Chains A and B, each alone.
Chain A
Amino acid sequence: MIGFIILFTFIALIIVAFAALVQKKLEDSIILFMGIGLGSVILFFTFNAPDVALTEAVIGSGVSTFIFLTALKHLRSEQ
C-alpha cells in the first residue's frame, strides 16, 4: 500500500508541477504551486519524517504562496 501511495503522489506532483509552469494566468500558476507543497507534505509524512512535513506544511504551502502573491501585487501595481 505504501508503494502505491508514493507512486500516486509522485504522478500527481509531476502533473501539477507541469501545469503550474505552463499556465497563462499567473494567479492560477501560484495556486497550483501551492499544490506542490501539499503533495510534498504527504510524501514527507509517508517517508517517516514528520518534522520535515510540519515545516513544509507551514512554509511550502503557506508563506511561499504569500510571497509570490505579494510579488504579483507589486509587479502589477503600476501598469
Chain B
Amino acid sequence: MLLEIRLFATFRHRRFKTKQMELPVGFLLGNLLKKLDISIKNVGILLVNGKHSDKETRLIDGDVVAIFPVVGGG
C-alpha cells in the first residue's frame, strides 16, 4: 500500500517534509513511528486522514499520516 507521510516542525530535521512510502497493508502507526525513528514520547498531534489516531491504528492504502511534535513551553 502507498501512504503519504507529512512531518512537521523539528521532525523534518534530517528526515523530510512530505514523502510517499510503500508499506504492507495493516502496518501499525506505532511501527511507522519506529521506522521513522520518532519516539512516541515526542509525538503530540498524530493524524491519519485528518483524524486524531494512536499508535495502535492500522494503516490502509492511501492513508495520509501527519505527525506533530509535543509543544509545551510558555
A, B bound: no
